[in-house]
């Protein structure tokens, strides 16, 4: 699901990347992370070569990439990795936000979308691993009910999806409803929902 809002002449969108888009868009976003952000995301400094290889792996192993765009450029990304890659068979998640897009509620928006996507796939829990020094990620994870433990310089834990309600689906119109009326009903539902989300995080349509 997409949504747009304009603030200070910027267009913002959050959506799942298609497989063809994942490699270049995720790669370029991760390469733009500053030194501290890169260290926090990968629990240590990783060079450009590693990031290129990592993005290529994500594009080919079934990882779901949820991207936050500003003016068509990915400034934040949430990753939902397949459960078979995790030692406890839980899908592992990761979130990264460029410095220019912070303090706008982007991390929370991406986290909500991650949880919705995990529900849609029938997952029961999510695994999270972050560096002990990554205060922003630990705070965000705790906000969504993660139980983290500290071990060997890392904070690891999980989120029980039973604590999070699955998103309310858009109601399916009755068969005797005209297609135009059905489309209007769905558009109105989406408009109201995203207006509430944007108001919650201070994203206004006003310039």
The string of pLDDT tens digits covering residues 103-147 is 889 999 999 999 999 999 999 999 888 776 777 788 887 888 877
Provide, rounded to the nearest whole percent, the portion of the chain with pLDDT above 90: 41
C-beta of residue 96 within 8 angstroms of C-beta of residue 75 = no
Q: Indicate the pairing of strand 147-151 with strand 125-131.
A: unpaired
Q: What is the pLDDT confidence band of residue 202, given thresholds at 50, 70 and 90?
A: low
Q: Fold for domain 5-167?
A: Aminopeptidase (3.40.630)
φ and ψ at residue 154, rounded to 5 degrees: -125, 150
Q: In what order do the strands lie in the sheet with 10-16?
A: 5-7, 10-16, 64-70, 73-80, 92-97, 125-131, 154-160, 147-151
Mean pLDDT, the chain, as a whole number?
78
How many C-beta atoms lie closer than 10 Å to residue 116's C-beta?
Answer: 15
pLDDT, position 184? 57
């Amino acid at each position: 699901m997409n949504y747009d809002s304009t603030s200070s002449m910027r267009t913002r969108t959050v959506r799942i990347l298609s497989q063809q888009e994942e490699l270049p868009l995720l790669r370029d976003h991760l390469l733009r992370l500053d030194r501290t952000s890169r260290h926090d995301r990968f629990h240590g400094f990783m060079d450009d070569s590693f990031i290129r290889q990592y993005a290529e792996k994500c594009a080919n192993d079934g990882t779901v990439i949820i991207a936050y765009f500003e003016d068509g450029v990915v400034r934040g990304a949430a990753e939902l990795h397949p459960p078979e890659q995790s030692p406890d068979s839980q899908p592992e998640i990761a979130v990264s936000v460029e410095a220019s897009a912070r303090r706008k509620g982007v991390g929370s928006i991406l986290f909500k979308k991650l949880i919705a996507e995990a529900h849609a796939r029938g997952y029961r829990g999510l695994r999270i691993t972050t560096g002990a020094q990554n205060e922003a990620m630990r705070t965000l994870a705790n906000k969504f009910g993660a139980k983290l433990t500290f071990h060997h310089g890392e904070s690891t834990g999980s989120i029980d999806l039973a604590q999070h309600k699955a998103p309310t689906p858009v109601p399916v119109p009755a068969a005797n409803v005209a297609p135009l009326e059905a489309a209007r009903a769905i558009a109105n539902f989406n408009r109201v929902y995203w207006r509430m989300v944007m108001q919650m995080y201070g994203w206004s349509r006003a310039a």
